[in-house]
Every structure is written in C-alpha cells, then in structure tokens.
C-alpha cells in the first residue's frame, strides 16, 4: 500500500491543458497536484533531446493558438515563454516550381500575380472572408458552450448571447458563416482561387490532424481552427516557441509551482477513485494514492472514462456516447537532426521563406488522393508535408551550423492495413521505414541530397503518439474536429460544460471545447467551471469577464 | 384573402418536370393564367428524360401538399403498395427490408434487425422535425428577428424549436449531434458493415456527388425519410405518373406547351414582362417561374440583371451529376439465387457494404469510372421477356477520355457481372443494353451537370444557402422571376415541394407588389 496524501484538487495528466487548469486552481487557492505518467511534462507540447545537441519539438511544433488571455493571466513570459513569429512559407512542386507565401501583403500580391494574376483579387476576398469568420469565432473559444437541449439559466443567457451575435452579423453574413461551417476547404477555395498550386498551399490547414479530405464538408472549419490564433496580436500568424514547444509547458509548470502547486511525474493514474458517485482521488500505477474532492483529467475523453473510471460509476448511455466518440489517428511526425541546411532546387539561395512552413504539393486532387490512401489503411503515397526548420530562427534547437527539421505528415493510419486486415500492430519496423521513405522520397524530389544530411530521425506513427502521449489512436486533437464533436457536442452531448456524470470529475483536455491545438482554452475554461462549483471566484473569471 | 388577386395574374412556368407542373397547378388553382413551356416532347423532366421514356424508377418523397395542389389523392396515382427492398449480399444471404423491418431472404432473423429498426425509427423521428421546414421558404437567419417584419420568421423558427422540443431529450441531443454528421458513422455506430448497413448509406448518397463518409450525408438520409422512406413503383412507370400529373395540372387550368423552348426573358424597367421562345414567339407574363437550375435561369435572364456577387455565387454552384441509368432488355425473367420469386420484383440494391459504397465514389472524384458501382435495380416483365433497369450511382459526368464505347461497356459489364453472381443465367438473357450517362441526362433535360438535384445536395447548398446565399426564398432578385425547381429549397427527388413553395412565395409577393 502506497501513501495517501490529501489535496483540494488533482489533475490527471500534465499536458499543457492539464497544467493550465492546474495553474488556475492553484492560483485560486486550491492545494493542487498534477500527476503525469511520463518522466516529463507537456503531453503533446514538449521539447526533447533525443539526439545529442538537438532539441526536438517532437509533437506539436508551432505556436499560434495559445490564447493571449491565458498567457497574460498566468504571466507566462515571466516564466520563460517567448514566441518568435516566422513569416512566410512555400509549397514546392515536383517540376521545380513553387508558390511562396509572404505575410507582407505586397510581396504576397506579387507572388500570386506571378502565378495567376486573376487570383490576386480572389485571394483578397478569401482572406477577408476567413478573417470575418475568425472574428466571429474567437470570442467563443474562452466561453463554455451552452446546452441547447436542457438549458439552465446560464445556458439560456449564453444562447441569447449567441443569437445576438448572429443577429449582429446580419442575414448575408449569417449565411456566409453557415456556408463556411459546412463547406469543404476544397470547395471553399474553389470559390475564390483558380491556380491549383495556390489552392494546394492554402488547403493544407484544412486537413492537418483530421480524418477528412480536402473535399470533405467541414474542413473549411478545420482551416479556421488553424487561422484563429495569433502571435503578438497578429491574427493568423504562427511562431516558434523559443526552445521548442516544451517552453509552453515549461512556463506553465513554472507558473504552477510558483502558485504552490505540486507535481508528480513518472507515475500514471491507474484509476480515478469514485465513492458514492463522487470523485475522491486517484490511484497510481506505482501503488500511491492521492485523495481530493476534485479530479480533473487532461487525458482524452476515451482514455479518461473508458480506461480509468470503473464502468459501474458511469451511466450506460454516457459510456456509449464516449465509445462512439471519433478519435481517428491520421498524422505522423518525423523529427530530424540535419547536418546542414538543405537546399531546395526552386528556392533562391537564402530565401526568407525557408524560415517558414515548407510543403511539397501539386493540387487539391493530389491531396484528396492522399486521403483516399488513408481511408484504405495505407500511409499516403504522396503525403501532405508540413516542414519547418526552427533552427534557422531559434539557435537553441541545434548546434551551430546544424539544423533541426520538424516534419508533420498527413496522412498516416492508426490501424494499418495488411493482407486484408487492419491492425495497429502492423506498424513494425519495416512499415515505419516504408512510411519514412515515402516522405523522404517526396522531399528528395525537391531537395536532392536531403537524405544525406540526415544524422538522426525520430519517426512517429499514430501508434507511437498513442503509446507515448496517450492520445487515443494518435489523434492529435484528442478527437475529430467535426461538427458532431464541436461546441455543445464536444466531447459528448450534454457534457460540454467540462463536467461528467461523476460529481467532482472534470475533463480539462482537448477532448473538450474548443478542441485541440496548443491553445490552453479547454484547461482555462474547465478551471472556471471547477471553481464555480467549488464556490470560488478565480482571477481567471474576472479576467474573462473583463474580456 | 391575399390570393384573390392571383386572378389577374398571368404567369409562365419554364419546364414541365414535376416542379414546373406543381408550380403551374398551384398558380392555376388560385386563378392565375398559367402557361407551361417545355422544350421536350412530354412531361416529367428528370422522371422521364423530358418525355423520352423513363429515368427515375421509384417514388418515396412525393409530398401530400404538392398533390393537393393538383387536386389528386395518392390513390388516384396508382402508386400501389410499398415495395420491399432486397439488399443483395455477395455471400448469397440477401437481406429483405419490408415495413421498416429486416430479415434474411430465407426468412431467418437478421442479427442486426433490432438495431436497424431502432435507427430507422430514429431517422423517422428526425424527419418529422424537419417536416415543417420543407413546406416553407427556408427561414431567414440573423435578420430583424426582433422587429415586426421578422415575426413570421421568428414563428417559423419557434415552430421548429417546438418540434425539436417534442422529441425526447436523448433524441434531441442525438438530433443536434448527427444533423451535420456523416452517414457511414451513423450507421456503423449502430450495426456492423454489410448489405443492411449499406442500404441506409445508399439512400444517404443517392444522386449526390459524395460518399457516405462525407459529413452532411445524414441530412440527406433524413430527407429521404420525410414521407417514411418507403419506395413505391407507379403503375405503368414514371412516364404514366408524369402524364397523370400533367393532366391534373391542365384540369386546374394550366396550359402546357411541349416542344417550346425558352430562349430568353423579356425584361423591361428592371422587371420581368414575359418570355421569349426559341421560335421567336413572345409570351407576356408578369410572373416567370423557372424550374431550371440557377445558372440556366441566370442565362435566360441575362447576367446584367444580377449584381456581380450574385452572378459569382451562381456560377459557383456545384452541380456534377453522378447518377446514370442502365436499361437491359432481357429475353426472360432472370432467376436470382437465394431469392423467392415473389421478391424478384422488389427494389434490389447492389451495395454490399458502406465501405464498398465509399470506394465506388473515390474514382469518380478523379474522372474515372468505378469498377464496382452501386445500383438500385428493378426487374419487370415486359412482353415475353423482361426489362431490368438500374440507377447506377457514382458515375463521372465526364470521364477522362470521354464516354467511349469501352467506358460504357465497362459500366454495363460490371453491373451485369455483379448481378450474375446471383443470377448466373443473366448475361445470356441480355438482348440489348443501354446506359444513359449524366452527360446525356444533361443534354436531354438541361439539368445542370445532369445532376439529380440540379445543385449538389450538401449542407453548404441547402436551406438558406440553396441554391445560393441571398436567393434561397425562391426570389431571384430580378422582380417577377422566381426559381421553382430542384435547385431551390428543399431540393430534388420527386417531391413537388420547390414548385409548390415557389408558387406560393410568388403569389405572396405578387400581392405585395
Ligand atoms: C504530432 C503532433 C503535432 C502537432 N502539432 C501542433 C502544432 O504545431 N501546433 C499546435 O497548436 N498543436 C499541434 N498539435 C496538437 C496539440 O499538440 C495537442 O492538441 C495538444 O497539445 C493537446 O494538449 P492537451 O493538454 O489537451 O492533451 P495532451 O497533450 O494529450 O496531454 C495529456 C497528458 O496526459 C498524460 N497521460 C496520459 N495518460 C495518463 C495517465 N494514465 N496518468 C497520468 N498522465 C497521463 C499524457 O502523458 C499527457 O501528458 C500537434 C499534436 C501532435 C500529436
Ligand atoms: C438518373 C436519375 C434518376 C432519378 N430517379 C429518381 C427516382 O427514382 N425517384 C425520385 O424521387 N427522384 C429521382 N430522381 C430525381 C428527380 O427526378 C428530380 O430531382 C426531380 O424530378 C426534379 O424535378 P424538377 O421539376 O425540379 O426538374 P426537371 O425534372 O429537371 O424539370 C425541368 C424541365 O425543364 C425542361 N427544360 C429545360 N430547359 C428548358 C428550356 N430552355 N425551355 C423549356 N423547358 C426546358 C426540361 O426538359 C425538364 O422537363 C432521379 C434523377 C436522376 C438524374
């Protein structure tokens, strides 16, 4: 029998959302403990030295979604967080052409005109339309979704708030918002832009992390999910966290400790203890037990309720809804230590856009085929790649003269098909090599000699993401971002307010509204609800009210 | 009563498809002088290939409100009893669906029968919620809900809200969860994949350019169940049904002119004054209702009468047909193994699984012909022999290299081969085979892209967004010109609703004007 210590609140899972919630709870005066199964904190927001001298952001790799309200509230810059924006990006084609995206408007116009003069105006309309949707959705990120089915007084107030926002939009823009929310990113782009390469460049954000194709309805929203962030007030901009994405979790952990919080790492929660319908603590896999009347889980909804709560404590229809939750793995990641800066055939020497996001792609049809491969249980023969070389901007990522490349790959299946069956166990060494080869071949075509620069590569399939980070099936968002799993439907209908059928048990991770990404919004929102139940006002709440 | 003034109205309806006929009957029944101009030689539009024979096969969504405008009752139409559906199974254990219940063709209980029944019921309850919405112009959202002009809208919405509230709480949650979800997940969450599951997924994609995994297909499935989802085979076929309805419209006072092709609108002082035929003849009318798609209607009027934004939106309406029709002339009734003779004349479904349905759609995205397309089949005796017709779902409108003889024979061959698994004698019975492709359907009827719904039936082109944002309430923006075909709310299928709703909207506005 291990020791049993008492706390006011226990956070199960030290991902960035768990840490965010923990910070708010500790700062509201609750004696709070974070339990993390890994020896390190951060979940999918980590920096790890897996090759000597190199730092890998080995899951998430770029920062934009992190809510500025949370950064301010928790004073994260003081705890070491620095986000360095990068500008621009490029999509290379196999035949040596490219489209370079510039955040400078005039440079971008020139580049679009170089490929397709008619698209200059179309792009402008596209950017405006997306910005309008961003403005509409951003205020919703730090609000608890109302329950439209069995609304309590607060839900009614929230519903009225939403109705008024639609009303303020007017009929035409309401229509446009509805169209945006239901369209595919491919169809949406087809409405503005003609050139296939420009469309291919822009469409990537609509499929990252999802089990949907560019022509699947709902992917325009996924694009928005990647546009609604900001760096230093520049909406839609992305940046590198200095020192890797672990800097986000590191700053949160530091803020948490400064508020008196305690952290246990290297021991996983085995069971969330429930007595008489109330959460009373956690039992760890090392035998230790901790008691608290509040348990907040940063793990995804399936892992939490199907893996760590005994089923007799949960209503069967709730369990059925959790089982039904779609959390499909669709992405892989390769982290690479490079001997030198790779040369891209099409890029002029020292082109500034090489410090941004790099892709190899041709058209929407090609991206759609990559999705078809995934549906059939194969990794994409011609995958969508999102490559960045943060060491160009952040020297802490690699030794001088060397470089670090983070390489996100869409699509890779969780249950790989082989001989007519689908099974995660099919991801053996040979499969992993085959997957990496498909990716490297793609890069080699636009950057000959790339392979020779590789000193070390960490290949991460959805199965690895599941095993290490605990993301069920390796889904990077802790659950698909489709309408049936967004807003009041996230994670499951009736429980969008971060609560659960068990009193005192809350969900604080990305499975909850507003979903995945290094955003800290689910954690902050959940903390607000927890403190409300606990009868405490947190600073966050005042901050939110002021916002 | 507001409608009285319809007496001095003269109206022209373009197209004698079901919706044109319904619009005409609705207007004429209220006293307007109505002329229907139809470029084909007979009524029915997509039901009949504009009078050339038969394209559609079954009726499931014909709306009682539309029928009452014709002054006919369902009994007058010879629709007969509901047909059972047989979901053919590659392993020979065919599934029979009758009266909402599933069993094996040999009479044995189906392991998923209970799950199937529960899901059908649920879909039916959701359809009941949407039922009021299809009978009216889609609610205008975000507009003056708080003032008097917005009152009817508010009432409409409140009504919808009430209907949702009438559902049990769990149903309500489920409704709001699945309404924009995909059919594959909905069905496969309830039962394992197979012919029974595919029978539902088939309804969710029929006529659309989509696979069952695409979000939004649940909405299509619900739409297909607005009248219960049962299939009826009109006696004598679709052409007979179309003929009956055309005569009913004439009995209400509408004049129908066949072989009369609309060539342009007469617009004076920014208002429609009439219609010009290809022959040069001009028919004066204060109201013109067009059952053509959005783009053909825009072309008839001339783009100059629409603002640039409206033109752009209309040009971007997605309408790529994916359904074609196969007709086989057979020397005798074929025998399907594992199926009692009584069920040979059921609606036969060739869709072995949801996964196969999705896979059949994939090649279409890239302009290729699927190797194993899904199909909805009907076999009827004809003379000494039989006729087999099939709606083949998921054909490219324009395959790479065109609809060559080879491409056509590929489709015919794969459907025949899939059936021959169960009816080994079938290939020898085939006397004649004819495939009608989406491209040919477009040529024959003018339906944009040969599309079943004239405009893709997807959430971003439905309700307030159908056919485009700003034109959803049948008015086109050009005074006097209205949309009354499948491209308008609520969409296609043999329903009569767009025609009826549009006529009522036009009359309402006619009074106000
Ligand atoms: C490969 C990849 C790339 C991504 N790229 C980006 C990006 O560039 N930008 C971006 O904004 N987002 C990105 N994301 C998404 C984003 O990283 C995640 O959505 C987000 O980090 C999830 O945070 P979370 O705190 O909600 O959950 P998690 O990070 O999943 O945290 C859950 C925590 O719980 C722990 N845990 C699991 N089981 C137990 C247990 N039994 N006991 C105790 N602890 C347990 C886990 O170890 C983990 O630390 C990426 C994700 C992945 C996987
Ligand atoms: C292959 C196929 C099979 C189908 N099967 C079924 C089925 O079994 N059951 C079902 O419910 N639905 C079926 N449908 C869908 C259904 O038939 C249509 O959605 C519905 O009939 C549309 O009716 P409509 O009146 O709006 O348009 P249409 O039927 O297209 O009518 C438009 C009419 O306008 C005429 N026209 C076009 N241009 C001009 C012009 N310039 N001047 C004058 N006239 C013109 C056309 O000839 C046509 O008659 C099927 C569709 C297809 C493509």
User: Is the Cβ atom of B223 under 6 angstroms away from ligand 2?
Assistant: no
DSSP assigned state of A260:
T
User: Best of B12, B17, B60, B498 to mutate for ligand 2, by most ligand atoms within 8 A of CB?
Assistant: B17
| Mean pLDDT value across residues A369-388 | 98
**In this prediction, what percent of chain B has a pLDDT beyond 90?**
90
Predicted confidence at residue B142, as pLDDT, reads: 58
Predicted confidence at residue B511, as pLDDT, reads: 41
Cβ contact B141–A482 (<8 Å): no
- Locate the DSSP E strands across B286-427: 287-290, 323-330, 347-350, 374-382, 385-393
- The single residue listed with the structure tokens 């934009």 is A64
| Mean pLDDT value across residues A117-138 | 95
Number of separate domains in chain B: 1
User: What values do phi and psi take at A280, rounded to 5?
Assistant: -125, -5
User: What values do phi and psi take at A447, rounded to 5?
Assistant: -140, 75
Cβ contact B470–A178 (<8 Å): no
Instruction: Say if B14 falls within a structural domain.
Output: yes
Predicted confidence at residue B476, as pLDDT, reads: 96
CB atoms within 10 A of CB B405: 7
Phi/psi-derived region of residue A218, left when phi > 0, alpha when psi is between -120 and 50, beta in every other case: left
Q: Which two tokens stand for residue B383?
A: 């003379």
Predicted confidence at residue B149, as pLDDT, reads: 54
| Mean pLDDT value across residues A5-10 | 93
- Band of the pLDDT at B313, cuts 50, 70, 90? very high
Q: Does the beta carbon of A156 lie under 8 angstroms from any beta carbon of chain B?
A: no
Ligand nearest to the CA of B21: 2
Q: Does the beta carbon of A80 lie under 8 angstroms from any beta carbon of chain B?
A: no
Cβ contact B170–A173 (<8 Å): no
What is the least distance, in Å, from the CA of A174 to any CA of chain B? 6
Among A166, A171, A364, A492, the residue to mutate for chain B (most B Cβ within 10 A): A171
Cβ contact B469–A179 (<8 Å): yes
Nearest-Cα residue of chain B relative to residue A177:
B460
Cβ contact B176–A217 (<8 Å): no
User: Best of B54, B56, B239, B347 to mutate for ligand 2, by most ligand atoms within 8 A of CB?
Assistant: B56
B-chain CB neighbours of A494 within 8 Å are 173
- The single residue listed with the structure tokens 């910005």 is A131
User: Is the Cβ atom of B231 under 6 angstroms away from ligand 2?
Assistant: no
Name the closest-CA residue to atom 3, ligand 2. B56
Instruction: Say if B419 falls within a structural domain.
Output: no
| Mean pLDDT value across residues B426-450 | 98
Predicted confidence at residue B513, as pLDDT, reads: 32
Q: Which two tokens stand for residue B502?
A: 């549009």
pLDDT of B457-467, one tens digit each? 999 999 999 99
Q: Does the beta carbon of A365 lie under 8 angstroms from any beta carbon of chain B?
A: yes
Residue B55: partners with Cβ closer than 8 Å, 6 or more residues away:
B46, B47, B48, B49, B238, B325, B436, B441
Q: β-pairing, A54-56 with A48-51?
A: antiparallel
- Band of the pLDDT at B156, cuts 50, 70, 90? low
- The single residue listed with the structure tokens 């105006």 is A121
Nearest-Cα residue of chain A relative to residue B366:
A365
Cβ contact B464–A175 (<8 Å): yes
Span from the CA of A15 to the centroid of ligand 1 (angstroms):
6
User: Is the Cβ atom of B38 under 6 angstroms away from ligand 2?
Assistant: yes
A-chain CB neighbours of B463 within 8 Å are 178
- pLDDT higher at A547 or B150: B150
| Mean pLDDT value across residues A210-235 | 94
Predicted confidence at residue A542, as pLDDT, reads: 47
CB atoms within 10 A of CB A227: 22
User: Is the Cβ atom of B57 under 6 angstroms away from ligand 2?
Assistant: yes
Is the pLDDT at A409 greater than 60? The verdict is: yes
- Band of the pLDDT at B8, cuts 50, 70, 90? confident
User: Is the Cβ atom of B494 under 6 angstroms away from ligand 2?
Assistant: yes
Residue B268: partners with Cβ closer than 8 Å, 6 or more residues away:
none
Q: Count of CB contacts below 8 A, A vs B?
A: 104
Using CA of residue A269, residue A271, residue A274, residue A280, what is the dihedral sign? negative
Is the pLDDT at A527 greater than 60? The verdict is: yes
- Band of the pLDDT at A191, cuts 50, 70, 90? very high
Cβ contact A171–B141 (<8 Å): yes
Interface of A with B in 368-407 (CB under 8 A): 368-369, 372, 375-376
A-chain CB neighbours of B147 within 8 Å are none
Cβ contact A178–B318 (<8 Å): no
CATH class, A4-43+68-81+242-326+480-546 region: alpha beta
Cβ contact B215–A170 (<8 Å): no
**B1-26 core/surface letters (b: 16 or more CB in 10 A; e: else):** eebeebeebebbbbbbbbbbbbbbbb
Q: Which two tokens stand for residue B495?
A: 């329903």
- The strands making up A294-297's β-sheet, listed across from edge to edge, are A262-265, A32-36, A9-12, A294-297, A505-507
Nearest-Cα residue of chain A relative to residue B162:
A149
What is the least distance, in Å, from the CA of A318 to any CA of chain B? 11
pLDDT of A469-514, one tens digit each? 999 999 999 999 999 999 999 999 999 999 999 999 999 999 999 9
CA B260 to ligand 2: nearest atom: 43
Predicted confidence at residue A498, as pLDDT, reads: 98
CA neighbor of B14 nearest in space, from B254, B293, B294, B291: B291
User: Is the Cβ atom of B37 under 6 angstroms away from ligand 2?
Assistant: yes
Q: β-pairing, A230-231 with A234-235?
A: antiparallel
Predicted confidence at residue A547, as pLDDT, reads: 39
CB atoms within 10 A of CB B304: 7
ipTM: 0.95
Is the pLDDT at B3 greater than 60? The verdict is: no
User: Is the Cβ atom of B283 under 6 angstroms away from ligand 2?
Assistant: no
User: Is the Cβ atom of B438 under 6 angstroms away from ligand 2?
Assistant: no
User: Is the Cβ atom of B446 under 6 angstroms away from ligand 2?
Assistant: yes
pLDDT of A291-349, one tens digit each? 999 999 999 999 999 999 999 999 999 999 999 999 999 999 999 999 999 999 999 88
Q: In whole numbers, what is the pLDDT of chain A averaged over residues?
A: 95
Instruction: Say if B52 falls within a structural domain.
Output: yes
**In this prediction, what percent of chain A has a pLDDT beyond 70?**
97
Half-sphere exposure (Cβ direction) of A124: Cα atoms closer than 13 Å = 9
Residue B459 belongs to a domain with what CATH number?
3.50.50.60
User: Is the Cβ atom of B4 under 6 angstroms away from ligand 2?
Assistant: no
Cβ contact B173–A493 (<8 Å): yes
Q: Does the beta carbon of A135 lie under 8 angstroms from any beta carbon of chain B?
A: no
Predicted confidence at residue A4, as pLDDT, reads: 59
Cβ contact B145–A483 (<8 Å): no
Predicted confidence at residue B154, as pLDDT, reads: 65
Is the pLDDT at B345 greater than 90? The verdict is: yes
Cβ contact B141–A324 (<8 Å): no
Query: Domain containing B296: what range?
Result: 10-79+234-318+445-508
Asked if residue A99 lies in contact with residue A197, where contact means CB atoms within 8 angstroms, the answer is yes
Rg (CA), chain B: 22
Q: In whole numbers, what is the pLDDT of chain B averaged over residues?
A: 94
User: Best of A23, A85, A298 to mutate for ligand 1, by most ligand atoms within 8 A of CB?
Assistant: A298
Residue A430: partners with Cβ closer than 8 Å, 6 or more residues away:
none
pLDDT of B90-100, one tens digit each? 999 999 999 99
Name the closest-CA residue to atom 47, ligand 2. B445
User: Is the Cβ atom of B84 under 6 angstroms away from ligand 2?
Assistant: no
Nearest-Cα residue of chain A relative to residue B317:
A191
A-chain CB neighbours of B315 within 8 Å are none
Q: What does the domain layout of chain A look like in residue ranges? A: 4-43+68-81+242-326+480-546, 84-236+327-473
Predicted confidence at residue B151, as pLDDT, reads: 63
User: Is the Cβ atom of A509 under 6 angstroms away from ligand 1?
Assistant: yes
| Mean pLDDT value across residues A374-391 | 98
Give the separation between CA A76 and CA A252, rounded to whole angstroms. Answer: 7
Instruction: Say if B287 falls within a structural domain.
Output: yes
């Amino acid at each position: 029998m291990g020791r049993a210590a008492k706390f006011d609140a226990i956070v199960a899972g030290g991902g960035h959302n768990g840490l965010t919630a923990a910070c708010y709870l500790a700062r509201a005066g609750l004696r709070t403990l974070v339990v993390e199964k890994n020896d390190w904190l951060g979940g999918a927001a980590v920096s790890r030295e897996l090759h000597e001298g190199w730092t890998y952001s080995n899951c998430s790799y770029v920062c934009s979604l992190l809510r500025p309200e949370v950064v301010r509230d928790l004073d994260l810059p003081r705890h070491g967080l620095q986000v360095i924006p990068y500008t621009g990006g490029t999509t290379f084609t196999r035949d040596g052409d490219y489209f370079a995206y510039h955040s400078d408007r005039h440079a971008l116009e020139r580049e679009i005109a170089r490929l397709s003069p008619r698209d200059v105006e179309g792009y402008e309309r596209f950017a405006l339309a997306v910005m309008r949707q961003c403005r509409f959705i951003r205020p919703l990120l730090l609000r608890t979704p109302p329950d439209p089915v069995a609304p309590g007084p607060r839900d009614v107030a929230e519903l009225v708030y939403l109705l008024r926002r639609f009303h303020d939009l007017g009929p035409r823009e309401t229509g446009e918002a509805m169209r945006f929310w239901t369209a595919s990113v491919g169809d949406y782009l087809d409405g503005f832009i003609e050139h296939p390469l420009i469309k291919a460049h822009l469409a990537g954000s609509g499929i990252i992390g999802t089990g949907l194709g560019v022509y699947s309805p709902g992917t325009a929203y996924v694009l928005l999910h990647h546009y609604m962030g900001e760096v230093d007030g520049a909406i839609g901009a992305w940046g590198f966290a200095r020192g890797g994405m672990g800097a986000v979790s590191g700053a949160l952990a530091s803020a948490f400790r400064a508020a008196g919080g305690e952290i246990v790492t290297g021991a996983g929660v085995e069971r969330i203890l429930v007595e008489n319908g109330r959460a009373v603590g956690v039992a760890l896999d090392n035998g230790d037990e901790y008691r608290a009347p509040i348990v907040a889980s940063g793990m995804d909804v399936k892992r939490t309720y199907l893996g760590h709560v005994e089923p007799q404590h949960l209503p069967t229809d709730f369990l059925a809804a959790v089982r039904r939750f779609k959390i499909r793995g669709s992405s892989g990641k390769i982290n690479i230590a490079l001997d030198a800066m790779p040369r891209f055939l099409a890029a002029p020497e020292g082109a500034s856009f090489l410090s941004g996001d790099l892709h190899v792609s041709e058209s929407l049809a090609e991206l759609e085929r990559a999705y078809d491969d995934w549906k059939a249980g194969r990794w994409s023969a011609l995958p969508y790649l999102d490559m960045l070389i943060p060491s160009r901007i952040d020297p802490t990522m690699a030794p001088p003269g060397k470089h670090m490349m983070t390489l996100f790959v869409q699509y890779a299946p969780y249950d790989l098909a082989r001989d007519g069956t689908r099974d995660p166990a099919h991801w053996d060494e040979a499969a992993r090599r085959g997957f990496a080869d498909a990716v490297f071949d793609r890069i080699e075509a636009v950057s000959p000699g790339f392979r020779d620069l590789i000193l070390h590569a960490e290949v991460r399939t959805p199965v690895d993401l599941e095993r290490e980070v605990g993301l069920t099936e390796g889904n990077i968002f802790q659950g698909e971002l489709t309408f049936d799993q967004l807003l009041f439907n996230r994670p499951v209908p009736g429980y969008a307010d971060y609560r659960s059928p068990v009193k005192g048990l809350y969900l604080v991770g990305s499975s909850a509204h507003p979903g995945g990404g290094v955003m800290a919004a689910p954690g902050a929102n959940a903390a607000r609800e927890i403190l409300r139940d606990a009868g405490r006002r947190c600073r966050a709440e005042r901050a939110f009210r002021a916002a | 009563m507001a409608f009285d003034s319809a007496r001095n109205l003269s109206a022209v309806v373009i197209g004698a498809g079901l919706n044109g006929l319904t619009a005409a009957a609705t207007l004429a029944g209220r006293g307007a002088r109505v002329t229907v101009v139809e470029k084909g030689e007979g009524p029915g539009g997509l039901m009949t290939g504009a009078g050339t024979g038969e394209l559609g096969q079954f009726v499931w969504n014909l709306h009682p409100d539309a029928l009452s405008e014709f002054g006919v009752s369902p009994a007058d139409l010879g629709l007969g009893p509901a047909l059972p559906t047989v979901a053919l199974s590659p392993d020979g254990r065919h599934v029979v669906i009758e009266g909402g219940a599933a069993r094996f063709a040999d009479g044995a209980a189906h392991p998923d029968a209970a799950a199937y029944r529960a899901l059908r019921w649920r879909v039916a309850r959701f359809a009941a919620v949407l039922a009021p919405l299809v009978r009216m112009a889609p609610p205008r959202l975000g507009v003056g809900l708080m003032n008097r002009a917005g009152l009817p809208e508010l009432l409409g919405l409140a009504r919808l809200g009430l209907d949702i509230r009438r559902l049990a709480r769990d149903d309500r949650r489920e409704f709001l969860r699945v309404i924009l979800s995909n059919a594959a997940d909905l069905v496969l969450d309830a039962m394992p994949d197979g012919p029974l599951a595919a029978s539902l997924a088939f309804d969710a994609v029929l006529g659309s350019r989509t696979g069952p995994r695409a979000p939004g297909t649940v909405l299509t499935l619900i739409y297909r169940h607005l009248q219960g989802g049962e299939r009826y085979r009109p006696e004598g076929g679709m052409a007979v049904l179309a003929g009956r309805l055309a005569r009913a419209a004439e009995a209400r006072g509408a004049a129908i002119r066949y072989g009369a092709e609309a060539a342009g609108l007469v617009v004076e002082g920014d208002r429609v004054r009439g219609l010009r035929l290809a022959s040069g003849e001009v028919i004066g009318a204060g109201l013109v209702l067009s059952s053509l798609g959005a783009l053909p209607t825009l072309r008839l009027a001339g783009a100059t009468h629409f603002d640039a934004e409206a033109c752009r939106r209309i040009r971007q309406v997605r309408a790529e047909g994916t359904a074609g029709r196969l007709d086989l002339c057979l020397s005798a009734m074929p025998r399907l193994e594992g199926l009692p003779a009584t069920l040979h004349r059921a609606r036969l479904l060739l869709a072995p699984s949801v996964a196969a349905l999705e896979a059949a759609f994939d090649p279409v995205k890239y302009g290729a012909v699927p190797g194993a397309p899904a199909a909805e089949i009907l076999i009827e005796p004809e003379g000494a022999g039989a006729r087999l017709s099939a709606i083949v779902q998921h054909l490219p409108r324009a395959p790479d290299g065109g609809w060559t003889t080879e491409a056509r024979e590929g489709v015919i061959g794969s459907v025949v081969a899939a059936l021959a698994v169960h009816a080994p004698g079938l290939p020898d019975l085939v006397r004649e085979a004819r495939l009608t492709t989406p491209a040919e359907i477009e040529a024959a009827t003018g339906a944009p892209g040969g599309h079943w719904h004239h405009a893709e039936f997807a959430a971003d082109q439905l309700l307030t967004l159908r056919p485009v944002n700003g034109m959803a309430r049948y008015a086109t923006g050009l005074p006097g010109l209205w949309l009354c075909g499948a491209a308008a709310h609520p969409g296609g299928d043999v329903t009569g609703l767009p025609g009826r709703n549009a006529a009522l909207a036009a009359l309402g506005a006619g009074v106000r004007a």
